[in-house]
Structure 1
Amino acid sequence: MKQLLLAELPSFVGDQVDESGLKTLMGNLDADGDGELDFQEYAVFLALTAELCDEFFRECAD
């Protein structure tokens, strides 16, 4: 997830990913607690990211 965030969302995370924030994010997304994100958990991440981007751009348009 860390590599994905750095490669695909650099403007959101900057040069470094906050390790404690990443652990919190992973813990919140990992619904079954197996320490990995399956496709459904990853899809939730994408949906939340899209929602945050939508909110950001709506605020910029105001």
Structure 2
Amino acid sequence: MLEPGQRELLESVAKSRTAAHRLVQRAQVLLRAADGVSNADNAVLAGVTRVTASFQLTRRHGVEGAP
């Protein structure tokens, strides 16, 4: 679940053409997770492993993604 204002910030970063690729990718992963996309599907969409997608959610952002 995102706090008020977080979705707008993440959407801005996810669409950025000047932010670092890893930040854009992380914002996209977080947005998809907030929309209920599983870690496995999120990983495929992001082009990373499921472990990496899950790590981005739980370790860095305290978000519990779907299995």
Same fold per TM (> 0.5)?
Answer: no
Larger of the two Rg values belongs to structure = 1
Higher relative contact order (CA 8 A, sep 6+): 2
